[in-house]
Structure 1
Amino acid sequence: MKTPRDIVFFIGNVLLLFPLMCFGRYAHETSPLEISVSFHLNKIYDINSMNETYLIDGYLVLLWEDPDNPFPDTDSAEVTYENSEFPDNYPIPTFEFINVLGKREILNKQLKFFRGGKVMYNERFHAKFTADMDFHLYPVDRQVFNLQIEAFSKDIEQLVFTSAELTPEKLDATYLKEWTIMGTRDTISKITYEHFNGISGTPKVFSRCTFEIITERKFNYYFWQVLLPIFLIIIASWLVFWVNDFSNQLNISFTLMLTVVAFNFFTSTLLPRLPYNTFIEIIIISGYTSIFLTAGAIIFNNAVVLKKSKKMSLRLIRIFRWLFPLLYTVFLAILISVLFLED
């Protein structure tokens, strides 16, 4: 039979522990799960500028603390489950790739429980991703290929990414024959979704982790195969000022115009339809303009000036011989300064 002293002692313990249990439980339930993310890039390849897509093969590792993890009764410091051995009753934090196209293919997955409460999820995956690409400077452009991971269905009050790491520091560029890797960047940000307003009355904020691979397009191919021929065609269009026969002058100008049109068809197959002109398209348009003005100058000289004075006609032709190259050189200098030096 319990004495009054025992009853008083029991009630005192209950009064002392009850607030601690309540507030401790509340803090545990309201503090978000903190996850560190690391991404090891095996390769990035099959970059398609037309579709603005690329393929990524890599390893994703998530690490978090869970004091209640089901660590088995064993002397080992860690326990590993792989693929089909995955425990069905343990909830892995939900996440998604924001900029993935279709469904990612998980080649292998691993779950590790560490004595002391740490849990690590590791998977090797393969998927197609997309990113907004800026082609203003094409084909001397830089592009940022990224991979965005975000918590799914859990806002920052429930789950946050605390750190991000992209490895290796020096990426393998053998799969990027058209690109040079300039560097990498990893960031953690908060993304607000307004469409939750109608449900909860307030927008939801989610944690997002972004890994970026900064690349620069290799220019050599486009210089030798596209830009140099266009410049040579433009220079050739000025040679009509050294041709005396008017019909030959017109034939040369219109033939060169059709050649530039062919180059325009070629470059249009390399890029998506854009609301702006790229650097290479501006060069092609300048080729149209130069050849058109050259033909116009020849027609004006033969139809107007030559009828008035042959001497004046010859003098005008001599002016055109240096005026057209000078104006085009000034145009290129202004174009390069606007597009590249201010970038």
Structure 2
Amino acid sequence: MAPLPWSALIYKGIPPTSQWPVKFCLYNAAAAWVLGIVTGNVSQVDRVWTFLPTIYTAYYALLPLWPTKPPLPMFPYVPETVHPEVVQRFSPRALLMFALTFTWMCRLTYNTWRRGLFNLKDEDYRWEILRQKLPAWFFQVVHLVFIAFIQNIMLFIFAVPAQIAALQQPEHLSTSDYVLAALAIIDIAAEFTADNQHYSFQTYKRTGSHEKNDWPGARIQWTPADAKRGFITRGLWAWSRHPNFFCEQSFWVIMNLFPLLAPESPRLPKLPLHSITPLWPLIPTITICSLFYSSTKFTESISAPKYPAYAAYQQRVSMFVPFLTPVWGLLLKLWGKKEQVDTLVYGQLELEEKKSQ
């Protein structure tokens, strides 16, 4: 019996409709790792983060458009073994999800661009700190396993709900789709507002100018006390320590719910461990929340020693969920600490400085 070609070995066990996305994901991961080694800059995935989920979602939403054989290397295609019914009709739900993901991409791409993070020399400051904390050989293991490959796999996983909608739910939109779409648009608008407020604050902190206050939601008169504190605690940031991260997670949770709340329940794969099967549709949600929780904990471990008032901010304001912040305030009031913490967090420093003069 002749041995299988290497491509067949790679694709063995992978559904035909996932062959191109898997191939594209592996190529991107390998390219990110090689570029990170060559340049010494491991933020290669960060620069394409804004585009990859949209590309994967577009692949599934636009399945009828792709040829059976790629005319160019890495060009999307649908193998001939895919059932003809799949490639003969569009799924309205998958198309709606693609439109929302494209809108998400535009917001994130713009915010990334205006912050200068597409600069090929730029590297996320957290990687440099992690590089200093770990032995050089172990950092390279983290670079290969997590930064290059696991992050790329995560970005592919974000498109799993669109895959379910495209392959299993082709019929029509339902009430849940309209409700979720409205929530997704509100979520994107809230995240854009959080981005604008943070960008405006950082501009004032760096230059002392209010020139960026004209952004929607960012018309806040920052004070010298805000800049002295070093981190933003006004606007949406008075309710959540990371409102942009909260919105980011919320967006992908909403996307995850599209196929799950639809009238056509998705067919779940038969997994070896029965305990995993109920959680399988929630893998994108579990992935994004786990990633943001761990990365935010690491970010705050850097911020807390840097800013004296950050510990008070952590006591007063919820990490993500804004609805919990009033609860933290009530608990502090019961402990008799609310006034002191509010003074540190919400900008009463000018009064203290005047009293001390």
TM-score category, normalised to shorter length: under 0.3
TM-score (norm 1): 0.22
Q: Determine which structure has more spread, i.e. the larger CA radius of gyration.
A: 1
Give 1 or 2: higher strand fraction.
1
TM-score (norm 2): 0.22
Give 1 or 2: higher helix fraction.
2
